């Protein structure tokens, strides 16, 4: 299974590089902790069970999906659609643009293969419980019949995000607020009802908080059961031990590289420096076997 990618937004930023690697039949992926150690990952149809895409904007990869279809490669999308203020998500597409792209993607692959993500949820004075409920309901209304599953989670504190959260808290109206069980569990209960009324299953992602009592099951982004249901193929059932303990995903090979996403989301765990990411983005070669050099 190919993950494309937890480490960067390949569909939005590196679609041409990606499809060139599909045509070549492989890519090279540096070890995140030792760039000199490089793995060769086959992208040949006979070696790939399923590709899973994470993205804020699949628009740039849409013209290349026929290439995957022609090769018989199975794939599905984890598509994040929120409507956070620019103080939190400075460079993501507008909600209007994201919804239009969602419709175009579903026209190509169908609603079963596009999972809507409303995550990670950041609580601030401005983006409080009421804000998220209003936005979630609005998006759910517009995505009714366009997807059958939605994923939610609360932002986690990573080393790379801590300083950004501190900086965000200094902005007027954006003091970051911690999880408040009674208040926020009530929010999730309402979200579950909103999703259910629109024919969507609401699941959580790597959430240590128990939401099962609210009708929200722990989900898997790379989901062996979902893959069997949608594609009628059996894949590994082994949990990916390289992910967080609360993550339920099964094993996969990630072909992305950290410090290459330029979208600038304040909660991004995959980018330590947006300046470094911009340099890597500008210097990437669409014909190179690896997403970045060296």
Q: Tell me the C-alpha distance between 253 and 256, whole Å.
A: 9
Whole-number pLDDT of residue 160: 78
Instruction: Read off the pLDDT band of 246 (50, 70, 90).
Output: confident
Which pLDDT belongs to residue 220? 92
Q: pLDDT tens for residues 49-101?
A: 999 999 999 999 999 999 999 999 999 999 999 999 999 999 999 999 999 99
**Residue 291 covered by a domain:** no
Q: How confident is the model at residue 183 (pLDDT cuts 50, 70, 90)?
A: confident
Domain of residue 143 covers 2-283
In the chain, pLDDT over 90 holds for what percent of residues? 83
Structurally, the chain folds into a number of domains equal to 1
- 272, part of any domain: yes
**Within-domain flag for 293:** no
- pLDDT value at position 294? 56
Q: What angle do CA 24, 75, 12 make, to 5 degrees?
A: 75
Q: What percent of the chain has pLDDT over 70?
A: 100
Sequence-distant (6+) residues with CB within 8 A of 69 are none
pLDDT reported for residue 277: 97
Q: What is the pTM of this model?
A: 0.96
Tell me, yes or no, whether 294 lies in a domain: no
Name the band, by pLDDT with cuts 50, 70 and 90, for residue 248. confident
CATH number reported for the structural domain that contains residue 52 in this entry: 3.20.20
Express each pLDDT in 116-166 by its tens digit: 999 999 999 999 999 999 999 999 999 999 999 999 999 987 777 888 999
Find all residues with CB under 8 Å of 264, minimum gap 6, and list them: 89, 90, 91, 274
**Is 168 inside any structural domain?**
yes
Could you tell me if residue 63 is left (phi over 0), alpha (psi between -120 and 50 degrees) or otherwise beta? alpha
Would residue 207 count as lying in a domain?
A: yes
In a domain, 111, yes or no: yes
The answer as to whether 160 is a domain residue is yes
């Amino acid at each position: 299974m190919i993950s494309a990618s937890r480490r960067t937004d390949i569909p939005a930023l590196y679609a041409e590089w990606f499809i060139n690697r599909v045509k070549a039949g492989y890519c090279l992926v540096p070890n995140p902790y030792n760039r000199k150690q490089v793995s060769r990952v086959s992208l040949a149809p006979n070696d790939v069970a399923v590709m899973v895409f994470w993205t804020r904007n699949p628009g740039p990869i849409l013209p290349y999906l026929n290439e995957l279809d022609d090769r018989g490669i199975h794939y599905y999308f984890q598509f994040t659609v929120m409507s956070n203020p620019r103080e939190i998500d400075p460079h993501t597409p507008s909600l209007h643009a994201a919804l239009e792209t969602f419709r175009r993607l579903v026209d190509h692959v169908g609603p079963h293969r596009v999972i809507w993500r409303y995550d990670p949820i950041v609580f601030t004075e401005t983006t409080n419980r009421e804000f998220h409920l209003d936005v979630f309901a609005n998006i759910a209304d517009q995505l009714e019949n366009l997807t059958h599953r939605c994923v939610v989670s609360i932002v986690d504190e990573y080393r790379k995000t801590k300083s950004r959260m501190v900086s965000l808290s200094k902005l007027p109206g954006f003091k970051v607020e911690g999880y408040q069980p009674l208040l926020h569990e009530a929010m999730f209960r309402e979200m579950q009802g909103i999703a259910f009324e629109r024919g969507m299953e609401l699941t959580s992602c790597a959430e240590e908080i128990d939401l099962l009592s609210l009708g929200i099951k722990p989900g898997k982004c790379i989901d062996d059961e979902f893959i069997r249901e949608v594609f009628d193929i059996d894949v590994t059932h082994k949990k990916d031990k390289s992910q967080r303990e609360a993550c339920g995903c099964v094993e996969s090979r990630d072909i992305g590289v950290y410090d290459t996403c330029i979208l600038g989301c304040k909660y991004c765990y995959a980018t330590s420096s947006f300046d470094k990411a911009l340099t890597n983005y500008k210097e990437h070669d669409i014909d190179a076997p690896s997403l970045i050099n060296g």
